[in-house]
Amino acid sequence: MNSYRPSPAHRFTFGLWTVGNPGRDPFGLPVRDALSPVQIVKLLGDAGAYGVNFHDNDLVPVDATPAQERRIVSDFRKALADCGLCVPMATTNLFSDPAFRDGAFTSNDPKVRAYALQKTMRAIDLGASLGAKVYVFWGGRDGTETDAGKNLLDAQKWFREALNFLCGYARDRKYAIKFALEAKPNEPRGDIFLPTTGAMLAFIATLDRPEMIGVNPEVAHEHMAGLNFTHAVAQAWDAGKLFHVDLNDQAPGRYDQDFRFGAHNIKSAFFLVKFLEDVGYAGSRHFDAHAYRTSDAEDVKAFARGCMRTYLILKEKAAQFRADPEIQRLLAEITADDGAMDRFQGRFEKKKAAALKGHKFDRAALGRRGMPYERLDQLVVELLLGVR
Ligand code: GLT
Ligand code: MN
Ligand code: MN
């Protein structure tokens, strides 16, 4: 029997801000004691994670002196070595400080835009010095409540210029780091720019160095917009842009919940895990989630273990799906292809187009054919419910 025990090979990571979340929300104060970065590394090491990610200020407070920063970073490095953890990803906090109330790279204030660039360069230095290979950009406050005060084309231009500038910076410093853009439709702004993974993918194509930039889709963010997350991930994968993934859960139409992976919609979590495992995604499985506000410190550990355990259970279910003869028989029936249409498909050729235009189809017969998706889906449900 699979023990569902996480190991570094599974590439499970958490942010300092996830297990370290003290349970503050817009209506209530923190309910848990703050944990230091070193305590968090220890907790994650004990739980079996592979890595830990951070925003610059999760690790080094924004007003730390250089001496304090050296001390914090060296304690953190030691904890990583002691616990066998690495830092696969880093990012910048461009949303907590009041300076960013109108956004960072897209603020109407040029001083704020310049400060955001400065802060990000320093944060990239910090991330790279700890070995991060992926650098995430989540435009937390790059958006609007009212469109009365922002030129939307300027905002896109400023965001583009910032990313081009930072790609230049990372190259100049010879950092082996790639950027990953994370979309979110809303919260904390009324509307956040480039609200979906698809919008990010289109935007990347307009940048100077698109090869350096991919996406970091998050389950909850696509679900907040009522979209199918696995479809977004598939498009990113197809484009060669799935550099990172944020796993959590979310009921549609709610506030930004960041629930434990699989806490809300097991079925969509299953199709996601199945997709990632089927294609051989080799990057981090990052849990960007936090424990319920009702949790105490012990329950936070259960939260972290639960994210990884659910992933591993779903990975096993995906293997069962592949090995299940009845499921495979139905799939074979659904995707049956006798090759008769091969001569019409693929690349355009004049002759091929002419032949296809002249071919006679039995349209009524095409319309009579059903697909046994009910039977197949019921088998998936039974598999997930553990009765297969
Ligand atoms: C914040 C946000 C996440 C982003 C993090 C990276 S911060 O928790 O809700 O989705 O991934 O900036
Ligand atoms: Mn989120
Ligand atoms: Mn995220």
Ligand 1 atom closest to Cα of residue 258: 9
Going along the chain, which residue ranges are E strands?
12-15, 51-55, 89-91, 134-138, 143-144, 178-182, 191-192, 213-215, 246-247, 285-287
Does residue 2 surpass a pLDDT of 80? no
| 229, two tokens | 């997350």
Q: Which of 55, 221, 286, 290 is catalytic?
A: 55
User: What pLDDT, in 10s, does the model give residues 219-274?
Assistant: 999 999 999 999 999 999 999 999 999 999 999 989 999 999 999 999 999 999 99
Q: How far is the CA of 182 from the centre of ligand 3 (A)?
A: 7
Does residue 173 surpass a pLDDT of 80? yes
What is the pLDDT of the chain when averaged over all its residues? 98
* Catalytic residue flag (residue 324): no
* Catalytic residue flag (residue 102): no
pLDDT at residue number 3: 86
- Which residues, chain by chain, have CB under 5 Å from ion ligand 3? 218, 246, 288
Q: Which of 25, 46, 56, 58 is catalytic?
A: 58
User: What pLDDT, in 10s, does the model give residues 347-386?
Assistant: 999 999 999 999 999 999 999 999 999 999 999 999 999 9
Contact between 215 and 243 (Cβ < 8 Å): yes
Q: Give residue 87's pLDDT band: very low, low, confident or very high (50, 70, 90).
A: very high
Does residue 1 surpass a pLDDT of 80? no
Torsion sign (Cα): 188, 191, 270, 246: negative
For the chain, which residues make up each domain, given as ranges? Answer: 2-323, 325-384
Q: How far is the CA of 34 from the centre of ligand 1 (A)?
A: 18
pLDDT at residue number 272: 99
Q: CB neighbours (10 Å) of residue 207?
A: 18
Ligand 1 atom closest to Cα of residue 182: 11
Q: How far is the CA of 220 from the centre of ligand 2 (A)?
A: 6
- Pairing between β-strand 213-215 and β-strand 178-182 as defined by DSSP bridges: parallel
Best residue among 57, 138, 179, 182 to mutate for probing ligand 1's pocket (most ligand atoms within 8 Å of CB) is 138
Query: What mean pLDDT do residues 139-163 have?
Result: 97
User: What pLDDT, in 10s, does the model give residues 90-102?
Assistant: 999 999 999 999 9
Indicate the CATH number of 2-323 among 3.20.20.150, 3.40.720.10, 3.90.1580.10, 3.40.50.2300. Answer: 3.20.20.150
Beta partners for 134?
Answer: 89, 178
d(CA 140, CA 154) in angstroms, rounded, equals: 18
Helix (H, G, I), strand (E, B) or coil at 350: helix
C-alpha closest to that of 200 among 189, 187, 216: 216
pLDDT at residue number 101: 98
| 328, two tokens | 């495979």
pLDDT at residue number 257: 97
Does residue 139 surpass a pLDDT of 90? no
159, with CB counted inside 10 A (0-12, 13-18, 19+), is buried
C-alpha closest to that of 36 among 54, 50, 49: 54
Query: What is the SS3 string spanning 123-171?
Result: HHHHHHHCCCCEEEEECCCCEECCCCCCCHHHHHHHHHHHHHHHHHHHH
Q: How far is the CA of 76 from the centre of ligand 3 (A)?
A: 22
User: What pLDDT, in 10s, does the model give residues 297-344?
Assistant: 999 999 999 999 999 999 999 999 999 999 999 999 999 999 999 999
Query: What mean pLDDT do residues 63-85 have?
Result: 98
Q: How far is the CA of 224 from the centre of ligand 2 (A)?
A: 9
Pocket of ligand 1 (CB under 6 A): 17, 55, 91, 136, 138, 182, 218, 246, 288
By alpha-carbon position, which residue is closest to atom 7 of ligand 1? Answer: 138
What percentage of the chain carries pLDDT values higher than 70?
A: 99
Query: What mean pLDDT do residues 57-81 have?
Result: 98
By alpha-carbon position, which residue is closest to atom 5 of ligand 1? Answer: 138
What percentage of the chain carries pLDDT values higher than 90?
A: 99
